[in-house]
């Protein structure tokens, strides 16, 4: 008899997983909308208020309170659906998803069940220069839950907590849940496709301006479904659902980890238990959550307090007219405008920096300079800190400011790196950091000239070579001057001064 | 003909967090079956052209504008809470798992 196993003793090497199994991937992404108010009541939907200051009888589930649907939230849902090439329901209802957990004071979550507002769509995802079509099963409207704080116990997490404290400010904030169909045939690319899908979906949500879309603040939350089937069998294996994976990088890592963990269990003759898993960002592993309930156990039924939503085709067409440019078309257009090569473009998109470069250029930065800063300095620092580049805490406008300082001759590229150090350390604006750290380049011709004269005097051999016409030797003198000036000089101007004296 | 078994009633009771003992299950399961059968008799008179109805009124698209309206103060919100701490509702230790 096969045993059902939750924890694998060891992971199977990734290549070995692919030799024996085909992965199937599914992604559920929750998008918290940026409406002024909640889904079913007029409480503010802003982030970060004092506990229980944004609540009313409706979102607290008090007896007799009646919900009313937020029109703006329905518009956002339809726009998301249209942008994902979905059909928009002509008529659909909300449903009650019944469960007992104190994050929902009503003892049910108002959601949609078998009548989502948007369904049967797709999104083309670019992975390593290839386009993969991800099919969208549905996008439906629901509400967010409250936030629980677990008190006591060693870890602060659920296990070992003595009691819990609940803040309902978030309860009732509009959510759109976007569900893909199983993505099969991805093979070794499954982890990258998962990451690229979530990254591109975020770009789309940002372009639609329907959410703050900050993964680190939970505006965009991904659940990763994964299963393995014997290679070539064409069936779907038993899946696990890893909840709340909150960065692009983690999405990729979670898929990879679950593939390796499933394979270890299956190789050992075990079978996968259908359950939710928790992702641990620090250790890069998943641990067992709860056994997944059957949909039947939620006892879904139509929400009697909300009448059906029946968007007229005129309304849908009007909203279609508000959609931003198709991302693929836009990418092609901007690549031409920016003069990026295919490889530069692919690297930019692959690094999750496309939107950042776009915003940096919009803030007045030259495209190649924007690409350079994001893909070298900032990508490296994000990688070192293990965060997504978008969550580094440096805004596109700030990068444009740094480049403006370079172009004004206030600093050079090398000094700009120190400005980024300062930005990440929270030392203020680029101009403030230049002033505080004394990074401004020496433009005083007298001081520069003195340093050049000193370098010539210190290096008579080199100076003679230049007098003899070996201009390439000037590099050594420029280096000496830059060292003397602690890097705070315009190397081009130093070169001119050297050649003026020795030419 | 709808019928609800004793096991189904026991399962539903678990889901609804209602503690029923054997005697109560023996007593209630047949009653629930009778209720379901009685309600189902409506199906006998509904033709194929009558869709299942979930709402009493033939209304759609009842929306409100996305405008903030004043809610409750934290004191009001917490006034009915058996326990509170740090301006939050204190609830018993959670053994289950978030949805």
Read off the pTM.
0.79
In Å, how far from its chain's centre is CA A447?
47
Give pLDDT, residue B90: 94
Same domain, residue pair A282 and A365: no
d(CA A151, CA B88): 12
Residue A313 lies in a domain: no
Give pLDDT, residue A2: 41
Task: Please indicate whether, in this complex, the C-beta atoms of B59 and A162 are within 8 angstroms of each other.
Answer: no
CATH of the domain at A455: 1.10.10
How many C-beta atoms surround the C-beta of residue A6 within 10 A?
A: 16
d(CA A68, CA A84): 26
Q: Which residues of A touch B87 (CB under 8 A)?
A: 50-52, 167
CB distance from B17 to chain A under 8 Å? yes
- Which domain range does residue A377 map to? 326-437
B8 to chain A nearest CA, in Å?
11
How many C-beta atoms surround the C-beta of residue A311 within 10 A?
A: 21
| Tens of pLDDT, residues B6-62 | 999 999 898 888 999 999 999 999 999 999 999 888 888 887 888 778 888 889 999
Same domain, residue pair A151 and A283: yes
d(CA A42, CA A38): 6
Q: Tell me, what's the ipTM?
A: 0.88
Same domain, residue pair A233 and A364: no
Residue A319 lies in a domain: no
Give pLDDT, residue A293: 65
Which of A388, A405, A437 lies at the terminal end of a domain, its last residue? Answer: A437
Q: Which residues of B touch A54 (CB under 8 A)?
A: 71
Give pLDDT, residue A295: 66
d(CA A34, CA B23): 52
Residue A63 lies in a domain: yes
Q: Which residues of B touch A150 (CB under 8 A)?
A: 94
Task: Please indicate whether, in this complex, the C-beta atoms of A50 and B61 are within 8 angstroms of each other.
Answer: no
Task: Measure CB to CB from residue A163 to each of B59, B62, B92 and give the nearest one.
Answer: B92
Residue A477 lies in a domain: yes
Task: Measure CB to CB from residue A71 to each of B54, B66, B93 and give the nearest one.
Answer: B66
Give pLDDT, residue B46: 80
> What are the backbone angles phi and psi of residue A211, rounded to the nearest 5°?
-155, 155
Same domain, residue pair A451 and A433: no
Residue A311 lies in a domain: no
Residue A268 lies in a domain: yes
Closest residue on chain A to B73 (Cα): A53
Strands (E), A282-364: 285-291, 301-302
Q: Which residues of A touch B73 (CB under 8 A)?
A: 53
Chain B, residues 29-58, CB within 8 A of chain A, namely: 54-55, 57
Same domain, residue pair A145 and A68: yes
Closest residue on chain A to B14 (Cα): A297
Helices and strands (H, E) in chain A, number of each type: 17, 18
d(CA A260, CA A45): 40
Q: Is B72 helix (H, G, I), strand (E, B) or coil?
A: strand
Task: Please indicate whether, in this complex, the C-beta atoms of A276 and B71 are within 8 angstroms of each other.
Answer: no
Residue A314 lies in a domain: no
Length of chain A, please?
Answer: 503
Task: Please indicate whether, in this complex, the C-beta atoms of A290 and B87 are within 8 angstroms of each other.
Answer: no
Same domain, residue pair A355 and A292: no
Outline where A3-45 has alpha helix (H): 14-20
Which of A281, A298, A315 lies at the terminal end of a domain, its last residue? Answer: A298
| Tens of pLDDT, residues A237-282 | 999 999 989 899 999 999 999 999 999 999 999 999 999 999 998 8
pLDDT at B81 over 90: yes
Domain count, chain A: 3
Same domain, residue pair A449 and A431: no
Q: Of A243, A290, A270, give the one whose Cα is nearest residue A29.
A: A243
Which of A384, A405, A437 lies at the terminal end of a domain, its last residue? Answer: A437
d(CA A353, CA A358): 8
Residue A303 lies in a domain: no
In Å, how far from its chain's centre is CA A321?
27
Outline where A113-269 has alpha helix (H): 190-208, 248-267
* Spans of chain A below 70 pLDDT: 1-9, 153-161, 292-295
Task: Please indicate whether, in this complex, the C-beta atoms of A168 and B93 are within 8 angstroms of each other.
Answer: no
Domain residue spans in chain B? 6-45
* Fold entry, domain B6-45: Histone, subunit A (1.10.20)
CB distance from B69 to chain A under 8 Å? yes
Residues with Cβ within 8 Å of B41's Cβ and at least 6 positions away in sequence, in order, are: none
Closest residue on chain A to B93 (Cα): A163
Same domain, residue pair A219 and A147: yes
Same domain, residue pair A76 and A186: yes
Q: What is the 3-state secondary structure (H, E, C) of A408-477?
A: CCCCCHHHHHHHHHHHHCCCCCHHHHHHHHCCCCCCCHHHHHHHHHHHHHHCHHHHHHHHCCCHHHHHHH
Closest residue on chain B to A301 (Cα): B54
Q: In Å, what is the CA distance from A13 to each residue of A242, A285, B34?
A: 20, 15, 58
Q: Is B24 exposed, middle or buried (0-12, 13-18, 19+ CB in 10 A)?
A: middle
Same domain, residue pair A288 and A333: no
d(CA A150, CA A161): 6
CB distance from B64 to chain A under 8 Å? yes
Using CA atoms in the order A430, A433, A437, A438, what is the torsion angle rounded to 10 degrees? Answer: 50
């Amino acid at each position: 008899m096969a045993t059902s196993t939750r924890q694998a003793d060891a992971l199977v090497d990734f290549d070995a997983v692919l030799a024996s199994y085909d992965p199937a991937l599914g992604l559920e992404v929750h998008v918290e909308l940026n409406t002024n108010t909640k889904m079913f009541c007029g409480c503010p939907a802003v982030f970060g208020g004092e506990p229980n200051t944004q609540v009313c009888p409706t979102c607290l589930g008090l007896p007799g309170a009646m919900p009313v649907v937020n029109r703006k939230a329905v518009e956002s849902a339809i726009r998301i659906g249209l942008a994902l090439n979905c059909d928009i329901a002509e008529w659909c209802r909300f449903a009650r998803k019944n469960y007992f957990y104190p994050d929902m004071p009503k003892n049910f979550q108002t959601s949609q069940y078998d009548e989502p507002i948007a369904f049967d769509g797709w999104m083309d995802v670019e992975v390593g220069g290839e386009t993969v079509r991800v099919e969208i099963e549905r996008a439906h409207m629901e509400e967010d839950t409250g936030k629980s704080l677990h008190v006591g116990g060693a870890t602060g997490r659920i296990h070992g907590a003595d009691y819990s404290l609940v803040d309902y400010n978030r309860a009732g904030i509009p959510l759109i849940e976007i569900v893909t169909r199983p993505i099969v045939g991805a093979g070794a690319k499954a982890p990258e496709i998962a990451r690229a899908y979530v990254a591109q979906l975020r770009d789309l949500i940002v372009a639609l301006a329907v959410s703050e879309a900050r993964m680190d603040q939970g505006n965009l939350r991904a659940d990763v479904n994964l299963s393995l089937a014997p290679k070539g069998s064409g069936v779907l294996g038993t899946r696990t659902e890893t909840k709340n994976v909150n960065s692009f990088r983690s999405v990729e890592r979670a898929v990879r980890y679950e593939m390796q963990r499933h394979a270890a269990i299956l190789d050992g003759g075990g079978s996968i238990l259908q359950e939710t898993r928790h992702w641990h960002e620090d250790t890069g592993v998943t641990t067992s959550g709860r056994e997944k309930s059957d949909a039947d156990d939620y006892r879904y039924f139509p929400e009697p307090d909300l009448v059906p939503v029946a968007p007229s085709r005129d309304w849908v067409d009007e909203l279609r007219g508000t959609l931003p440019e198709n991302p693929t078309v836009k990418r092609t257009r901007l690549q031409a405008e920016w003069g990026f090569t295919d490889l530069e473009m692919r690297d930019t998109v692959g690094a999750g920096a496309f939107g950042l470069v776009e915003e940096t250029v919009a803030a007045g930065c030259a495209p190649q300079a924007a690409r350079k800063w994001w893909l070298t300095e900032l990508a490296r620092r994000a990688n070192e800190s293990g965060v997504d580049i978008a969550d580094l805490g440096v805004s596109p406008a700030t990068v444009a400011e740094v480049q403006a300082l370079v172009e004004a001759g206030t600093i050079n590229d090398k000094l700009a790196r120190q400005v980024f150090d300062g930005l990440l350390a929270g030392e203020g604006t680029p101009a403030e950091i230049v002033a505080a750290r004394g990074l401004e380049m020496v433009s005083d011709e007298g001081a520069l000239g003195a340093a050049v004269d000193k370098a010539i005097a210190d290096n008579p051999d080199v100076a003679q070579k230049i007098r003899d016409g070996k201009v390439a030797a000037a590099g050594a003198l420029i280096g000496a001057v830059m060292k003397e000036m602690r890097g705070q000089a315009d190397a081009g101007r130093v070169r001119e001064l050297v050649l003026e004296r020795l030419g | 003909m709808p019928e609800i078994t004793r096991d189904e009633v026991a399962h539903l009771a678990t889901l609804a967090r209602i503690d029923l003992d054997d005697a109560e299950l023996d007593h209630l399961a047949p009653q629930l079956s009778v209720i379901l059968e009685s309600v189902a008799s409506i199906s006998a008179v509904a033709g194929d052209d009558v869709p299942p109805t979930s709402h009493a009124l033939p209304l759609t698209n009842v929306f409100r504008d996305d405008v903030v309206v004043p809610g409750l103060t934290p004191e009001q919100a917490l006034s009915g809470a058996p326990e509170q701490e740090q301006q939050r509702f204190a609830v018993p230790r959670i053994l289950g798992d978030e949805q």
